[in-house]
Amino acid sequence: MRIKYLLTVACAMSLLNLSAQNLLNKIKSKASQEVNKEVNKLESPSSNASANSTRNKLSNNVTRTVAVNLREGESFDYSESCIDLGSSVNQISFIVNTGFGDKRQCFSYKNGSRTPVPCPNSTDCGGSLQCSYNKLRQIELDSEEGKKYIVNETEAHQMTQPTISDQQLKAMAAYMTKEQIEQMKKQLAEAQKQTANQSYSTVKSRTIQFNEKKYGPYSQLSQFYLTSDNTQFYAVTLEVNPSMQYTYKVISSASTASITIQGATPPMSCVASTDNSEFAVMSINGQGKYYILTSQGKTIDLADAGNFRNVWYSSVGNHLMVLSGNNVFYDGQVIKTFENNSSIEPCNLYVASDGKGVSLIKDNIVSFADGDHFEYPLKIALVNNAGKMYFKWLALENQEVVIYQKPY
């Protein structure tokens, strides 16, 4: 009877384990299916783009042009394709590939033409989004790049010999032993030996050589900036008079205008308009208050400087923009308030030419000032078409490579 009972329990346990195992297998199978779904989404950006396109909102002022229909077996190379949007609606170039391993082939699509090209191993395409303003690069004065533009005039100085007078030795004898004094004399003799006939040089003045022109010489340079295309420079010079009064002056190769700042504190940053016709600096006065000085002679106080993020010129119209706190200022007037600006980058804020709207790129979504939005563009840029500015972006929808264009 006991054996029968044990067999019954064993069978029940076996069935229970089998049922549990079946349930576990079903759960694992379901989880695997869900993982595969997500992987398929990642591996099939074309279908994902098609699904995303249904969530986009675009007005009638947006034009849609099919640039290329990818052939069967061709896929857009996301990792290695540098996308060039050009300056007109029909200009475009990118790389697609087919096959795998040794059979992998790459083709370049450029302005509608398909050309076989060697498959790139790696490509540094830089950022996929064009900065909304003329972003200057600050160059270290003594860096290799800085030496291309800045020439130092130096002067030599003889190193002073360390000495100790008899009076100093007499004073030392009052609190040092004879052994300590002898040791000190040996160290002094060694220092005199090392510095004998030695000299050092200091920078007497600095001259900027740029595009075959010379600027200066200046007694001191504090900061040096280049435009992103290296065609213009902005520099901060410093003059100190005998009464130790500091005068900073901001100059540029793009304009004869300058900005003068009195005081010992150098400007904190320098910005320039897209056409480099205007520039400005942010600084702080003796009372600890922040302000902006422009090359047009304007002064703008920053009341909310504690939450100051950035200052720049708008892409159109050379209007001075400030991101401070949760507010975007347009020539001193608030035109946009965000709930939280901690994740807002000024480079991704595009201000309408009349200052009445702000378009934003965030988390790969373009939110336009008029309420339109588009998810996951491959690349977006500003282009000038017949004197008018347009947003231009590229998208992959099923097998169609599409160019969108919207008035700025």
Q: Output the DSSP codes for 331-383.
A: TTEEEEE-S--TT--GGGEEE-TTSS-EEEEETTEEE-TTS-EEE--SEEEEE
pLDDT of the residue at 195: 81
Identity of the highest mean pLDDT range in 52-56, 171-175, 182-186, 275-279: 275-279
Q: Which two tokens stand for residue 173?
A: 């004898």
pLDDT of the residue at 61: 93
pLDDT of the residue at 316: 76
Q: Which two tokens stand for residue 218?
A: 């200046």
Q: Could you tell me which residue, 30 or 169, shows the higher pLDDT? A: 169
Lowest mean pLDDT among 57-61, 143-147, 243-247, 355-359: 355-359
Cα separation of 338 and 344, whole Å? 9
Residue 334 has pLDDT above 50, yes or no: yes
Q: Could you tell me which residue, 295 or 383, shows the higher pLDDT? A: 295
- pLDDT tens digit sequence for 268-296: 889 999 899 999 999 888 777 888 999 99
* 50: confidence class by pLDDT, cuts 50, 70, 90: very low
Residue 31 has pLDDT above 70, yes or no: no
- Judged by DSSP in three states, 309 sits in strand
CB-count exposure of residue 112 (10 Å: 0-12, 13-18, 19+): exposed
pLDDT of the residue at 23: 34
Lowest mean pLDDT among 297-306, 308-317, 322-331, 360-369: 297-306
Cα separation of 299 and 311, whole Å? 13
pLDDT of the residue at 128: 46
User: Do 395 and 378 form a contact (C-beta atoms < 8 A)?
Assistant: yes
Number of other CB atoms surrounding residue 117 within 10 Å: 12
- pLDDT tens digit sequence for 111-147: 777 788 877 665 555 444 567 888 899 999 999 999 9
The string of DSSP letters for 193-228 reads: HHHTT-EEEEEEEEEEEETTEEEEEESEEEEEEE-T
* 231: confidence class by pLDDT, cuts 50, 70, 90: very high
Cα separation of 100 and 238, whole Å? 60
pLDDT of the residue at 64: 92
pLDDT of the residue at 331: 85
Mean pLDDT score, 3-13: 39
pLDDT of the residue at 225: 97
Q: Which two tokens stand for residue 9?
A: 């329990």
Q: Could you tell me which residue, 61 or 13, shows the higher pLDDT? A: 61
* 207: confidence class by pLDDT, cuts 50, 70, 90: very high
Cα separation of 27 and 163, whole Å? 86
* 162: confidence class by pLDDT, cuts 50, 70, 90: confident
Dihedral sign (CA 143, 144, 150, 151): positive
| Residue type for position 272 | A
Lowest mean pLDDT among 27-36, 67-76, 279-288, 394-403: 27-36
- pLDDT tens digit sequence for 78-118: 655 567 776 655 566 777 777 777 777 887 777 777 788 87
* 230: confidence class by pLDDT, cuts 50, 70, 90: very high
Give percent above pLDDT 70 in the chain.
79
Q: Could you tell me which residue, 238 or 157, shows the higher pLDDT? A: 238
Cα separation of 245 and 389, whole Å? 46
Q: Could you tell me which residue, 364 or 268, shows the higher pLDDT? A: 268
Cα separation of 370 and 210, whole Å? 43
User: What's the mean per-residue pLDDT of the chain?
Assistant: 78
Cα separation of 44 and 364, whole Å? 18
User: Do 249 and 239 form a contact (C-beta atoms < 8 A)?
Assistant: yes
Cα separation of 271 and 134, whole Å? 8
Mean pLDDT score, 300-327: 79
pLDDT of the residue at 249: 96
